[in-house]
A and B are shown apart, each in its own frame.
Chain A
């Protein structure tokens, strides 16, 4: 079985990819997908620790994170649909009515 370091590295890599994706992409739907990637990296970490420590809390935590991700995705997609109705575009930087 690979050591905990390997799991940490794997989840760190996926987290970083998601993080970079959130910042650099313009398409809102892709940005939302990158946020899901970040949450998945957290889940890998939690399950790996849960296995290593022999404690169940990590797995329970993971289930709640999956729930949170589902709810967040639903509301986020609703916001995106409303953005599309108002501006006929789903790019992040189209929304620039507010100076800043």
Chain B
């Protein structure tokens, strides 16, 4: 009897980034416990660990590992960089935020790291089991991070709402997975792909129900339109840097997992109506997200609705999985991480009672008091609305071009129209920054060196991708080519 675990050569290189983050998180917790006087160092150490993780990507071995359950390739590397980038930005923003809120915690950064491990597992898993375990690892980190300000009722409430929604969605995803397993005889995505590629496959109602349940579950996690109501409440109550991270990184991880699943289903998609369901989700998200965002005065709620719309744009590209689509989603997630975390970063510096909403009035006239922070927020808003010299324009352009090339002109048109409408509420923020008089008793902006550094990273990144996108696009296209070539 062969009891050897399936360990290929270089297996340790395959999971090196995850190992760095796992051990780094454990080290931070122990550091926090045994050196309570040096707690102000935990933030910088966390950043160093994230950078180590990004550096360890150089040694990663490419290929399929652990008996075909785990695939490392170019696209996972691109997404790993996105996750690490989001982690670094969130850590830098939290370092100042937590200090101001009087929260100490190496656990905070450790949970951020372990959540990142979960996302990396979702991106690399070739077995639905690994994807779901990664998703659960990520979710449980998010529950705790959302409720980290334990004395604030809103923080607890955000955690509770996300927990209820998350557990509910997990039930749907698991049920859908169980039905897929029953129909395709395996949970391995490659084996499923082979099953779907069989020309005499019949699409039973069982498979359709499985797909509907799976999309409902992932729709909850992505905050797609009919499943979105949790998002504004959770973002409003969450610690602000966590809200920024939550709006970016988990969505990227869920999208790459969905890309793998859709790619496996590729051969049967033309004879089913499954993609029509996804198209409707995208259209509803774009319309509801953009139209409700106009009515919001609370900045975090506005960004939540804008996030719903942004996921809608990304979902358009998923309707047909080809190289351009995967590449444009990869680029969009990177740019989205930079701009959304930048916007949430400025909001996180508003020094006021975190139990109260952060509204547009709080940033009125900020442009003349704190020029750099106002500039950062303005750049992020320009990029989110997709105006030309920024990365937001480039990524949106790739998305819509891909959609039109794959023949989804109508949906792309809806996307373009709604995104033009969205310019109104994004630029309203800029209007408040520069055109409004600041009122009496103005909210202070309280940004330390770390948070300012994070803003600088996002501004530079947004302009770099906006002006010179070719290298990134080539890298992403090549990675997507490798992913889909199987």
Q: Which residues on A are within 8 Å of B, measured CB to CB?
A: 4, 15, 18-19, 22, 28, 31-32, 35, 38-39, 41-42, 45-46, 48-49, 52-53, 55, 57-58, 60-61, 64-65, 68, 71-72, 75-76, 79-80, 82-83, 86-87, 92, 95-98, 100
Contact = CB atoms under 8 A, between A and B. Distances in A.
Interface in B287-316: 301
A19 B171 contact: yes
Interface of B: 129, 132-133, 136, 140, 143-144, 147, 150-151, 153-154, 156-161, 163-164, 167-168, 170-171, 174-175, 177-179, 181-182, 185-187, 229, 232-233, 236-237, 301, 355
B182 A57 contact: no
Contacts of B164: 22, 31, 92
Contacts of A83: 156-157, 160
Contacts of A28: 160
Contact of B168 (A35, A41, A53): A35
Nearest to B230: A100
A82 B301 CA distance: 24
Contacts of B168: 19, 22, 35, 38
Contact of B167 (A57, A76, A97, A98): A76
B157 A46 contact: no
Contact of B140 (A58, A71, A96): A71
A75 B163 contact: yes
A85 B115 CA distance: 27
Given A83-B156, A92-B164, A97-B157, 15 more contacts: A35-B171, A38-B168, A41-B175, A42-B174, A45-B175, A49-B182, A57-B186, A58-B181, A64-B132, A71-B136, A75-B140, A82-B156, A97-B355, A98-B161, A98-B236
Nearest to A19: B171
Contacts of B177: 61
B129 A61 contact: yes
A86 B153 contact: yes
A52 to B, nearest CB: 7
A42 B175 contact: yes
A100 B167 CA distance: 20
Residue of B153, B168, B174 ringed by the most chain A CB atoms within 10 A: B174
Contacts of B167: 32, 35, 72, 76
Contacts of B160: 28, 79-80, 83, 92, 95
